Each structure stands twice: as structure tokens, then as C-alpha cells.
Amino acid sequence: MTDQEKLKAAIDTIARYVLAEALDYAISHDGVLWEDYGELGEHDFDKIVVRAGQIADSIRPSDEAYEPAYEHLAERAAGEPV
């Protein structure tokens, strides 16, 4: 894997993690409100929220992917001039 490919893979991995975290936070902190989708049935909306959580989980990278990606980007940041 080239340095550019490794960088892209690391960025993609961390981006998926950040997105999954943001979705989890929104779902668990009432950031997704049925009132915003009032024309949908409440029971259907409950299922939509559950599915949104499942999608968040499906895009979250494994620890085995996240940790080296984070370390790679942290090493790059440590080498940047201040």
C-alpha cells in the first residue's frame, strides 16, 4: 500500500468512526425527534431510529482497523510544524 493509499484508508476509517459516534449521540440524546417527521407514524419512526442505530453500527470500524488508523494520523500530526 502506498503512503497516499494508507493515508486515505486511515482518513476513511476515522471518518466512519466519527460519523458513527455522531449518529449514536444524536439517537441517544434526543437529537432525532419524531416531531421533525410528524407525518410518519410514531411506531414506524421508532423502527427508523432503531435502524439508524444499526446503520451507525455497520459503518463503525473495528478496533483492529481504528487503532492503527488513529496512530498513523497521530504520528503524522506529531511531525507537523507548529
| Res 81: pLDDT | 64
34: Cβ–Cβ under 8 A, 6 or more apart, which residues?
40, 42, 45, 46
| Res 60: pLDDT | 97
Q: Which residues of 11-31 are buried (b: 16+ CB within 10 A; e: fewer)?
A: eebbebbeebeebeebeeeee
Q: How many CA atoms lie within 13 A of 79 on its CB side?
A: 6
Is 0.85 surpassed by the pTM of this model?
A: no
Higher pLDDT, 82 or 19: 19
Number of CB atoms found within 10 A of residue 65's CB: 17
Q: What mean pLDDT do residues 54-59 have?
A: 94
Judge whether residue 49 has pLDDT over 70: yes
Higher pLDDT, 37 or 80: 37
